[in-house]
A and B are shown apart, each in its own frame.
Chain A
Amino acid sequence: MSRYSPRRFLLLSRLLILAVIAALLAGCSTTPQTNALLARKTPGIPLRMELTTVPFHPQAQYQCGPAALATVLEFSGTEVSPAALVPQVYVPDRQGSFQVEMLAATRRYQRLAYIIEPTLDALLASVVAGQPVLILQNLGLDWYPQWHYAVVVGYDLERRQILLRSGVTERYEMAMKLFERTWRRAGHWGMVALAPGELPAADNARAYFLSAAAFETHAPAELADTAWRTGLERWPESIELLMGHGNFLHHQGDVTAATERFRTVTTLAPGYGPGHNNLAQALMTAGRFDEALAAAQQAVAIGGELEAAYQATLRQAEEASQGD
């Protein structure tokens, strides 16, 4: 028999494919977060936690997006069926749902779509805080992705499991390491739906600001106000939250309260141009032109990337105080 017989060639190519698959699997099999969490002497969170009252909506084919979204929205007090969400998040030719539309649809039901930090710690902290997390997984491989949305409702550190509402399984126990691999292949993406007045588990004012700013664009004024105030109660010195609420109040015509917010910004961060600029604008609206002029001059003196806007404010203030 020749050295290069078809049979031998077949065997060699099979071995080669096996080696490639093994290499690919090895390449994505590390689970640093799970290892770190389990190695800790005191995990800092309860050993197990399960939000048993989270509802379950089994998914129709390709429609894990609407099912997972209905799950977190219903738990948050909004009655909505997966079928009602299909026309809002399902994309027929991709047979799935995009992350941005999951966020946008969450806001449509008057919930803040808050993206958690991309860590297992943040994920479990949310569960401990009583907030189920809608996550994206890649159940396949990097080169053969199988994107899937599910809802994390619990965990068990001793049994090393993550508990999910997933697909057609109401209580899916997934090995923590396997979960981490599938979650990591999807960029560790997860969101919680917060009712206005509710805070996320993490101490991250910037992340909350982003979710409140997006929420504000389509929310009724009263709910948007609640979202801003809730954030400011938790992070009273967050410049971004103060600015966001100030802008919101100014837009609503509450000039006195807006002025107060911007004034706080300039006190907390004297070198922050937008604070002086918006204070000048609010003071102008209030008819306090001399103070506005002083604030606008401050902003221009600070300068920076937004200087063109500061200059425009200064010109307005100059005209206004001359006309006064």
Chain B
Amino acid sequence: MERCYINGMGCISGQNTFEGDFLENPIDYSKTNIIHVVKPDYKAFIPPAAIRRMSSGVKNSIVASTLAMDEAQVKELDGIITGTGMGCIQDSEKFLDKLIGFNEQYLTPTSFIQSTHNTVGGQIALKLRCTAYNFTYVNTGGSFQSALLDGLIQVKNEGKNNILVGGIDEIAEYTHKLYQAIGHIKEDGEADYNILENRSKGSVAGEGAVFFVLSNEKKESTSAEVVDTHIINNLKVNGVNGFIGDFLQHNNTKLEEIDAVILGNNGDIDFDLYYDEAEKLFESSKILYYKHLFGDFMTAPSVSVWLASNMLKKQQIPNILYKIDKTRSSKPLRNVLIYNQYRGKNHSLILMKNV
């Protein structure tokens, strides 16, 4: 069985993550319940006519995937695998607005075509003229992890190399309001949105496009190894210990060998209990969180993989990621575990290792 390395990354997010900056000057979002991406210079990556036509998720994906492939120095891929929770929701909204607003009149195909979930995968394939394997996962909070798992199987078990894996979600105005109406997104007007201090209903909304090139060859640009990932759809809070324990055992890794754990805390009073439970397990690991900087969205775990890769490569953890403000072991970072769940569903673990 081969090993699976991350050889290139591109991250468009609520922070300045696309130019090699590793949270040196983090943007403070503690007073907002919605975090949009910091827009990159699209013109450097996409022809002007296409920029106008594409939704932000597609544009961000083109930029992030280009960055990832450039860093990995690959031009050809054995696969393009994307994950997206809501798909191209901006175009879905556009089409729905007309469909409902004008009673099925005056519709044009553009937004329908662009609303399909596999638009990003198709667009990247078109741009690269890449006829290889092309998959799109749409499994709520497990969309990106499904894509990652698929890529991992390709590289480790199926002899494939240079698989592009990405997670994409975009904020769309009306859908955002709808999810806020049902309490998935925090209400407007809370005094602050400090997700550790003040838990309340819902999460701070975010968006992003994060891409990786997975490969079986270690090279200079390699940042980390993805050892394994596991997803299950349902878990009770008291099942968290067993879920994590079984996964680590399966990967011959002891709890105390985990140097850092990245948790998906999003300040949701109904579901952060899972992370409380997970945190108790790790007595000597550094406990980190990140959604205060990026918001939460269905494919937010893609950001945590980007963070873990950077941490492992640079052997450095930005202060702003510490959930527990105490210095635990000062050993070099070797193993990083990521745990995420989405509203009590789509529980996932990702184990990463330094190279």
Are A and B bound to each other? no
Q: What residues make up the interface of B, taking CB atoms closer than 8 Å to A?
A: none
